[in-house]
Amino acid sequence: MPNDTKFAPRWDANGLITGVVTDATTREVLMVAHLNAEALSLTRSTGFAHFWSRSRGKLWKKGEESGNTLRVIELRVDCDQDALLMICEPAGPACHTGARSCFYRAVSSQDGDTTLTVIS
């Protein structure tokens, strides 16, 4: 229910919930990834963002290899509790490409063609 005060994440058929990471300072959307119950539990207990990698089929702490961790400042949940907003302090670029945000390309149309343009 919309005004429930009970935290009850709605896991999808694969036991995952969508996590949207924003930068606490700039409010920029940095990345989107998925959490299973263990990733959420570790995120909450350690204060650092953990996710479930669908492609690698494993739990990962963001930045465990690159050092570009995400310290979670605040965790929010949406009205139907199937998405999380993770307001974070990033230790470095959030994207594995080295971009500050994974959303570094805009979708644009020109002469009927759709192309991507790097914006940051």
- Among positions 20-79, residues that touch its own copies (CB under 8 A) are 20, 22, 26-29, 31-32, 44, 74-79
Report in angstroms how near the CB of residue 66 gets to its own copies at its nearest.
Answer: 14
Report in angstroms how near the CB of residue 82 gets to its own copies at its nearest.
Answer: 8
Q: Give the whole-angstrom CA distance, residue 5 versus residue 114.
A: 44
- Among positions 68-107, residues that touch its own copies (CB under 8 A) are 74-80, 82-85, 95-97, 99, 102-107
Distance of CA 46 to the CA centre of its chain: 16
Q: Give the whole-angstrom CA distance, residue 1 versus residue 112.
A: 44
Cα–Cα distance list, 8 to 5, 22, 36, 81 (Å): 9, 22, 13, 7
Q: Give the whole-angstrom CA distance, residue 3 versus residue 31.
A: 27
Q: Which is nearer to its own copies, 44 or 46 (CB)?
A: 44
User: Residue numbers of the site for its own copies (CB under 8 A)?
Assistant: 2-7, 18, 20, 22, 26-29, 31-32, 44, 74-80, 82-85, 95-97, 99, 102-107, 109, 114-119
